[in-house]
Structures are given as C-alpha cells and as structure tokens.
Amino acid sequence: MSADRETNHGMTSHDTTHTDIALLLADAADGVEIGIAPYDAVLRGGRRRKARRWAVATVTALALVGSAGSLAVAGLPGGDGGRGVRVATQAPMGEERHVYEPQQTELSRGTDEGEDWRVVISVWGPPRDKAEARKQLAAMTEYGIEAPAQPELSEVVGRTSYFVSLHYGTSRPRVLVFDTVEKWDHMAGKDIVFGALPLTKGGTLGPNRLAVGRVAKTAQQVKCTWSDGTSSVDLPKAAAGSPLKWFVCVGPKGAANRAAEVIQ
C-alpha cells in the first residue's frame, strides 16, 4: 500500500488543540494535562499531576478531542474472574508478561519516494521490581529504543511502556510516540489523541503528512483532513497489549495534517 493510497486514512475535529513542539507531557486524571517540554504545563480540565509523556520525535501537531472534553483514568481490563477456592499457581515469569520482549503490531505500511515504510507499535509489560526493570531497559536498547525515548528506571516499575516507531527503508527505526502508563487512559465515543509529523527518512523536514493516534476500542472510522482541502478515512486497528485502537494516516504529497476526528 503506497503513501498515495493512504488517502483512505483520516481525521477532523470540533475541538482541536495544536502545539509545535517535539516533546509533549500529558496525564489523564480528573481531566487532561498537556505540557511543553521540559517543565511548563497547561492544565486542561483537571489538576496538575506527575506528567506522562506523549512524545513525537520531531516538530509536531498534537490534538486531543474528547466527546466530554476530557479523558479520565481507568483501570486495565481484567481482574479476578474466578470464584470459590483458587488453586495456587506459580506467578508468571517476566517472559510470559512480555517484560523483556514486547508485543508488536504493525499499524500501517506503504511506499514513499521509492522506499518501503511501516509503522509499528511495541507494548512492554510492567516490571515488578527494579531488577526486572533493569533487564527491560537493556532489552529496549537492543530493540533500538534509546534516549530520549527510553524511560528512566523509576518510570517503568509497575508501568506498561509503549512505543510507536517508523521503519523507513533501511534506516534505523525512529520512535515517534512513547509513554509509560500505570493505567491506560479511558477513551470512549469520539475521544481521540494524535500527533502529526513528516514522512521522511530523517523525519525533520517536510509537511506533517504522517498522523498517528489512538481512539476508543469502539471507534470504527477516523477521518483526516489535509491542508490541500482533501480528506481521507482510516479504519483503526487493535494492538496487542493495548486496550485502545490505533490509526495511521498519510496525506498527499506536499500536504500537512489539519485535523482528525472519529466519524463512526
């Protein structure tokens, strides 16, 4: 699927906020907090809490749209569904919890300027202690996840880490979005979070025609709007290890992303 074919990926929004920064800090608690690296923050619908990173590795436009205007923290699906007497079993090992090897899902692929590209999300399970965390960080390095994308030791214990990376030609994979979360954001209805950046080998020059984001698991279609007046529609995908769906849009040559929205 070529970059030109990506005209069936898209977004528009009724309440979109844009910011031209390479690193954004955000957290969802009694609302949403978006911060400008490294310290300044703008509070949206809630009080300031320890910042979470929603990072794009180049100048980017990030948008947050919620049907209720904010996102709240919600726990991961699961819990003890059993009743009655439980049989004692050995706790799952780090390998079984994907602590040292992530669950990976290809979100999109195409061809641009004669180069094949693909966008992949990697979800790493939460380490239980610092010993597991150290091994996880070493494994992340082997996967090509290094500073500034790689989190600190204190950030990964008990937290899930995820990375969305662009594989372009034979170049080293470039991390576009990363975060560590204790609990995933609760997203419902038309809630959407996305970033846009250039689709190039270096990733720093050109219009922001590659849009990547997450939506509620019930979302069926995302519409993207581009600076040349065209729009496109994408079908969000489920990603292993994540309770949310993810989408990738690519705009026409020379066009930049203007907006995104869940339309179904």
Q: What is the pLDDT of residues 211-239, one digit of tens each?
A: 999 999 999 999 999 999 999 999 999 99
* 189 lies in some domain: yes
Q: Which residues contact 168 (CB under 8 A, 6 or more apart)?
A: 112, 115, 117, 174, 199, 200, 201, 203
Residue of 231, 260, 256, 229 whose CA lies nearest to 246: 260
* 68 lies in some domain: yes
**Phi, psi torsion values for 44, nearest 5 degrees:** -125, 105
Which pLDDT score is estimated for 23?
Answer: 36
Average pLDDT over residues 138-165: 92
* 33 lies in some domain: no
Which of 41-55, 138-152, 198-212, 247-261 shows the lowest mean pLDDT across its residues? 41-55
CB neighbour burial string for 233-246, b if at least 16 within 10 angstroms, e if fewer: bbebeebebbbbbb
Which pLDDT score is estimated for 89?
Answer: 55
Structural domain range at position 136: 4-16+62-72+96-262
Which of 34-38, 93-97, 128-132, 232-236 shows the lowest mean pLDDT across its residues? 34-38
- In whole angstroms, give the CA distance from residue 16 to residue 12: 8
Which of 21-35, 44-58, 170-184, 185-199 shows the lowest mean pLDDT across its residues? 21-35
* 34 lies in some domain: no
Per-residue pLDDT at 61 exceeds 60: no
* 90 lies in some domain: no
Which pLDDT score is estimated for 250?
Answer: 95
Q: How many Cβ atoms sit within 10 Å of the Cβ of residue 42?
A: 12
* 89 lies in some domain: no
* 31 lies in some domain: no
Q: What is the pLDDT of residues 100-136, one digit of tens each?
A: 999 999 999 999 988 999 999 999 999 999 999 999 9
- In whole angstroms, give the CA distance from residue 40 to residue 25: 9
Q: Domain count of the chain?
A: 1
- pLDDT-derived band at 206, boundaries 50, 70, 90: confident
DSSP state of 10: B
Residue found under tokens 């300031």 = 48
Which pLDDT score is estimated for 184?
Answer: 94
* 198 lies in some domain: yes
Kindly report each contact of residues 97-100 with a partner whose C-beta sits within 8 Å and lies 24 or more positions away, as own/partner: 97/125, 97/126, 98/123, 98/124, 98/125, 98/241, 99/124, 99/125, 99/126, 99/127, 99/132, 99/135, 99/136, 100/135, 100/136, 100/139
Average pLDDT over residues 142-170: 92
